[in-house]
Amino acid sequence: MGAFDYAEACVWDVPVVDKHMYARVRDAVQERWLTFAYGIPPWAEDRVYVFGPEGETGERSPTIFEGRRRRAVWKAALEPLGRELVNKVGVELSNGPPADATPAHVQAKF
């Protein structure tokens, strides 16, 4: 096995959204928000509206939305653990890496 490549390990840090995709999502959020602010439903009541990823926007059926979010799979995996443990894991993950994390810290975990 070769040496650890920190740059390769951090490839997830690179956004996959270019400026055109970002602008498309931004514009859709603004349009839907203004529609709502003027008292008009921003999308059909029986639909959901997606903002991204990768520039995708528009109304979708709840079935498609549920499938993409894999709610049933996550529920089956996390529910047996209990709310307290799942919340603890969520908090730890949302904290991110330690402030003093360096490439050596990342390498040590692999």
Q: Which of 13-22, 31-40, 78-87 has the lowest mean pLDDT?
A: 13-22
Domain interval for residue 41: 1-69
Residue 96 forms part of a structural domain: yes
Residue 60 lies in a domain: yes
Tokens of 82: 């209990």
The pLDDT tens digits of the residues spanning 61-105 come to 988 888 888 888 989 999 999 999 999 999 988 888 777 776 665
Judge whether 75 lies within some domain.
Answer: no
CA dihedral sign, ordered 6, 9, 11, 12: negative
Over range 13-21, report the average pLDDT: 73
Q: Is residue 47 very low, low, confident or very high in pLDDT (cuts 50, 70, 90)?
A: very high
CA–CA dist 12, 78 (Å, integer): 24
Q: Which two tokens stand for residue 53?
A: 């990823």
Q: Same domain for 2 and 47?
A: yes
Domain tally for the chain? 2
Specify whether 23 is located in the same domain as 56: yes
Q: What would the two tokens of residue 103 be?
A: 């490439």
Mark whether 64 and 90 lie in a shared domain. no
Tell me, yes or no, whether 4 and 57 share the same domain.
Answer: yes
Are 6 and 106 a contacting pair, CB within 8 Å?
Answer: yes
pLDDT of residue 29: 95
